[in-house]
Structure 1
């Protein structure tokens, strides 16, 4: 399911794992109004099994590669006449990168929000996801969520409310295991990606380490990186993204 707003060249947004378009609006996390004001058509969609989109309990459906298939299928459905600007947060960031390396000519610009753990730091995240999936299957999602307690919150978003995962409990272990099987494309592959790229992240977030964002900025030939330390800086991302995607 997706929301289609505005008119002009197409920009598409892929949200982070376990959230949805509705949840991100309620979190007041990102402001997309500036993107519409610069004359872009913005399509925001719910990834499979998230929010209003359905999904199956098959972990292969939730790897970054499969999610990139979904993004490319959405672009087919939208029938965009020219390359699009792709914006992705966390899981959505990885989705956009995998789609862009597969069909580079379909993308004019990339905006990568909160790049997730990758490469050397990925295995620790993968182990935690597999353990979480096992816990949910044995004891239920409530036990897993309670065991997580008050997870560390970066200072830039410490006041943002937390929401439970949007994938339904019967599918949630498959989502966790699919993400555990995933990683960003290798740096040597990303080095061939020539489209301009804006990377935005915040500090002090183990799940979205600045080290991943910095490594991406180093290996992508036309990338710029900005790191937020305050809520005000995160709230300014919408305007920064709009200025970036408005360039033709």
Structure 2
């Protein structure tokens, strides 16, 4: 396993400064994290192992979403819908000078971000990796009501009200040992983030069905906020998708290897006959 130091970069877009970590060399993959977290928090949680992706010869850019982690943001709910966050992701690709289609990787909120970006600009992406897809469509309404109530509670009682409500939720067994960390959006902007996510949903199934990108869906079991029903529906909608479900913490630790394998170039029958590799995408 190689050592892949990351360089920090910054860019500005729509009233916010974004901070990202840029590591590795090769075809570009961009990762969007889950809601209320950050790159540093996910590293502390030990959720995902990116080393296999870097070892496989990928340039991996991971960024802190608007108002999360090191990135700044305004207290405007419309800034935090999936569609708005997708605009941020496409702006990052512009900033990086991505001339070729990139791999879009997203977890939870980031999954929504990547799907909206791919529907809007399919030519900007070569493949999609969708981690722990969130509530969507029929299951979204209850999540939206809970987020709106949480936003009201934060405004009335402070950010500790949000943490207290989270603490009452039963955590899925598959991630029961993951550290419980506070939300990274600060108290000034957290209600807007919650309301923006309450206004969000994945693209319509018919729009997703129009995507022709190879897709890898990685889900885990027993999580009401990330139900397997969404992952199953995405696998059924996407024309070229494979789905893996983690039922133990050990299963999640293999996800980096599964992503690396998925991103290896596919070979055409003609290339196999001639012995020439297909260029990576």
**TM-score bucket of the superposed structures, by smaller chain:** over 0.9
- Would you say 1:21 and 2:39 are equivalent positions? yes
C-alpha deviation, 1:81, in angstroms: 2.3
Question: With CA pairs under 8 Å and 6+ residues apart, which has the higher RCO, 1 or 2?
Answer: 1
Count of residues in Structure 1 that have an aligned counterpart in Structure 2? 248
Match for 1:148 among 163, 166, 180?
A: 166
Match for 1:163 among 181, 190, 199?
A: 181
Alignment of 1:178-197 (within 5 A): 178-197=196-215
1:102-149 deviation per Cα after TM superposition (whole angstroms, max 9, x unaligned): 110110000000000000010000000000000110111112322433
- Would you say 1:214 and 2:232 are equivalent positions? yes
- Would you say 1:173 and 2:194 are equivalent positions? no
Distance across 2 between alignment mates of 1:152 and 1:114:
17
- Would you say 1:68 and 2:86 are equivalent positions? yes
Distance across 2 between alignment mates of 1:5 and 1:152:
35
The answer for the alignment partner of 2:132 in structure 1 is: 114
The answer for the alignment partner of 1:57 in structure 2 is: 75
* Secondary structure at 1:22 match in 2: helix
The answer for the alignment partner of 2:272 in structure 1 is: none
RMSD over aligned Cα, in angstroms? Answer: 0.8
* Secondary structure at 1:117 match in 2: coil
Could you list the structure 1 runs, at least 4 aligned residues long, displaced by more than 4 angstroms after superposition: none
The answer for the alignment partner of 2:29 in structure 1 is: 11
* Secondary structure at 1:149 match in 2: helix
* Secondary structure at 1:49 match in 2: coil
Distance across 2 between alignment mates of 1:220 and 1:93:
14
Larger radius of gyration: 2
The answer for the alignment partner of 1:134 in structure 2 is: 152
Q: Which moved more, 1:117-126 or 1:148-157?
A: 148-157
Q: TM-score, normalised by structure 1?
A: 0.98
Match for 2:108 among 90, 110, 113?
A: 90
The answer for the alignment partner of 1:79 in structure 2 is: 97
**Structure 2 gap segments, 5+ residues each:** 1-18, 266-279
Q: TM-score, normalised by structure 2?
A: 0.87
Distance across 2 between alignment mates of 1:13 and 1:227:
20
* Secondary structure at 2:98 match in 1: coil
Distance across 2 between alignment mates of 1:134 and 1:209:
25
